[in-house]
Structure 1
């Protein structure tokens, strides 16, 4: 297996999803990665990866025969149209709508869309852009 550049000092080194049908997952993730401008890093028998996300079949030696449970992953998008493209690509590639593109109340300018992948993982694309001016303002307190 070939690897990309290793970056030291990150909070997350990599994430692995173990899926029932690696072909269905590859169609889904390849479509959303293309919409977000993320290249596929590589693939082999029963697995593929992009950046630090590894997706493998249940029979992969790295999976130990156990599926991962429902997970939430959020990918950063460069702009709002990328979020829109992500959502359309996810649905066209077999994903299920879990939240259409739109502004969310998490903080001003949070624009996101959600889709469930073929295994039920909640996959999000988010753009942290400037807040739109409107008659109502969103106040988020932590």
Structure 2
């Protein structure tokens, strides 16, 4: 994940369901669950020591809602990892927002888009670099 950000959070209304989804969908990207708390789970790179993505029940107790126009883009190590992310997300309750493929956002921009079971939009991106 980008060093520019300390962490990102996404809301959920069902933490066990969200944890199952994110455990599966993030594994192809090399991200692992680093924290499990009563109200949140956190993900990061193994051995990094930093949890960069948190899936959480809203602090204010109100329902979690997805942000319109909000979408974390997660870096993938390969095109195959993008495809595996997409497949795992769909197999674990996610919905398709764009199958794996090249996008017009730059040469070698290979991405897939999904929504998690709570409606949050996510992308996995592999950048082909010479």
TM-score after normalising by structure 1: 0.77
Map 1:1-142 onto structure 2 (within 5 A): 10-51=3-44, 52-58=52-58, 63-66=59-62, 67-70=64-67, 71-130=70-129
User: Are the counterparts in 1 of residues 65 and 118 from structure 2 also a CA contact under 8 Å?
Assistant: no
Tell me, which stretches of 5 or more residues in structure 2 are unaligned? 45-51
Q: Deviations over 1:55-95 (max 9, x none)?
A: 1123xxxx122435323111100010000100000000100
Task: Indicate the SS of the match to 2:56.
Answer: strand
1:136 match: none
Q: Which has the higher contact order (CA 8 A, sep 6+)?
A: 2
Moved segments of 4+, more than 3 Å: none
**Distance between the aligned counterparts of 2:32 and 2:66, measured in 1?**
25
* Aligned length in residues: 118
Tell me, which stretches of 5 or more residues in structure 1 are unaligned? 1-9, 132-142
Q: Which has the higher Rg, Structure 1 or Structure 2?
A: 1
**Distance between the aligned counterparts of 2:81 and 2:9, measured in 1?**
24
